Amino acid sequence: MRSIVFFVIFSLAFGLVNNLYAAKPDTIAVAFYNVENLYDVFNDPKKNDEEFLPEGKKKWTLERFNEKELNLSKVIRGLNDGKGPDIIGFAEVENKGVLETLSKKYLFDLRFDVAHIESPDDRGIDVALLYNKTKFKKLAVYGDSVALPDKYPTRLILHVVLKSKDKDTLHVFVNHWPSRRNGQDKSEINRVAAASALRKQTDILLAKNPLAKIVIIGDFNDEPENISIKDTLGAGLYTCDSVRQVNVLRNVSWERKSKGEGSLKYRDNWNLLDQIIISKGLNKNYICGSYTIFRPDYLIQKDGKYAGSPFPTYGGDKHLGGYSDHLAVFAKFVINR
């Protein structure tokens, strides 16, 4: 009898431990980084890449390319408390090859795979995604086009569908919206067009599943409170102490913006152009307050006219050997194993 009682107690305890382990949360980090003109050194006749060739105006040599990739790997490894991200989107990469070199040569232990589709942008600077292939399986990759009013070709919005180890589907949209060339007001119509294209795709997903898990990352060339993001896309200004958040899309970058922080410095002002937006379905997964602008001392210029700004690869046509004119951002989420 005593043996039977012991067996029952042991079985219940063992089952409880197993259940607790099965529900043990796992933290993942989602990041974004505009890497400032990550070109290879080869001429692509289909792209306007002559500036970034060994004989071009920037004198973009293999040595400089390798130095930049090493620099970028240092930044990426520093994200997520030094563990590196599990998912990271990029802006301003020329092609899939530059990220394959980055991941295989400098980040091989992070087990990244690449998701990328060539954009119609004539400069050849695309968006792309690296994801940890031991944690996620890639289900699909789409390139959503943006129709600008003047018909000028611009970057695709990359839509990557991933499945986590617990069989949850995650939709990641990587963006690099049209620039503010000719001024913010005059160019705003182009970013509204990009926001409309993105909103169309998220609406399709949310119509099928109102709790679809969507994370939107990118360099939007607009700030959280601008029309394109707040009104057209409908991403609410989300803070952790919000009593009631009614928007389906929630901009977790807002708290940093409200404190005057930014990812790009322009004319002595910090702009928060690099943002992370989540759907209602990810609200319980997001670790509130975890959105971070990564700015260790080595990424900031120490002297000269641009002291206090991100340390870029180039200043005009002068090679500085830095990292990027943008800072990387990331946020953390909890998922079940």
Instruction: Give the single-character DSSP code of 99.
Output: H
Q: Which of the two residues, 242 and 133, has the higher pLDDT score?
A: 133
Neighbours of 91 (CB within 10 A): 28
Residue-averaged pLDDT of the chain = 91
| Rounded Cα–Cα distance for residues 192 and 256 (Å) | 23
Residue 318 identity (one-letter amino acid): K
User: CA separation (Å) from 235 to 39, 67, 223, 232?
Assistant: 32, 37, 11, 8
Per-residue burial over 103-115, b if 16 or more Cβ lie within 10 Å, else e, is beebbeebebbbb
Q: Which of the two residues, 336 and 17, has the higher pLDDT score?
A: 336
Instruction: Give the single-character DSSP code of 155.
Output: P
- Backbone angles phi and psi of 192, in degrees to 5: -65, -40
In the structure encoding, which two tokens stand for residue 140, read together?
């699909």
| Rounded Cα–Cα distance for residues 213 and 18 (Å) | 27
Q: What is the pLDDT of residue 55?
A: 97
Q: Is residue 188 scored above 90 in pLDDT?
A: yes
Q: How confident is the model at residue 304 (pLDDT cuts 50, 70, 90)?
A: confident
In the structure encoding, which two tokens stand for residue 321, read together?
């050997």
User: CA separation (Å) from 162 to 40, 157, 159, 248?
Assistant: 28, 16, 10, 21
Q: What is the mean pLDDT of residues 56-61?
A: 97
Q: How confident is the model at residue 246 (pLDDT cuts 50, 70, 90)?
A: confident
Q: How confident is the model at residue 37 (pLDDT cuts 50, 70, 90)?
A: very high
**What are the tens digits of pLDDT across the range 160-173?**
999 998 789 999 99
User: Quick check: helix, strand or coil at residue 197?
Assistant: helix
| Rounded Cα–Cα distance for residues 198 and 194 (Å) | 6
Q: Is residue 327 scored above 70 in pLDDT?
A: yes
| Rounded Cα–Cα distance for residues 16 and 20 (Å) | 6
Q: Which of the two residues, 177 and 18, has the higher pLDDT score?
A: 177
| Rounded Cα–Cα distance for residues 220 and 215 (Å) | 14
Q: Is residue 17 scored above 70 in pLDDT?
A: no
**What are the tens digits of pLDDT across the range 262-272?**
999 988 899 99
Q: Where are the domains of the chain?
A: 22-332
Q: How confident is the model at residue 118 (pLDDT cuts 50, 70, 90)?
A: very high
| Rounded Cα–Cα distance for residues 58 and 305 (Å) | 21
Closest by Cα among 271, 260, 159, 287 to 217:
159
Q: How confident is the model at residue 121 (pLDDT cuts 50, 70, 90)?
A: confident
| Rounded Cα–Cα distance for residues 288 and 322 (Å) | 32
**What are the tens digits of pLDDT across the range 189-210?**
999 999 999 999 999 999 999 9
Decide yes or no: CATH 3.60.10.10 for domain 22-332.
Answer: yes
User: CA separation (Å) from 45 to 48, 50, 100, 123, 124?
Assistant: 8, 9, 21, 11, 11
Q: Is residue 5 scored above 60 in pLDDT?
A: no
Question: Cα–Cα–Cα angle for 27, 28, 32, nearest 5°?
Answer: 145
For the entire predicted model, the pTM comes to 0.92
Q: How confident is the model at residue 336 (pLDDT cuts 50, 70, 90)?
A: low
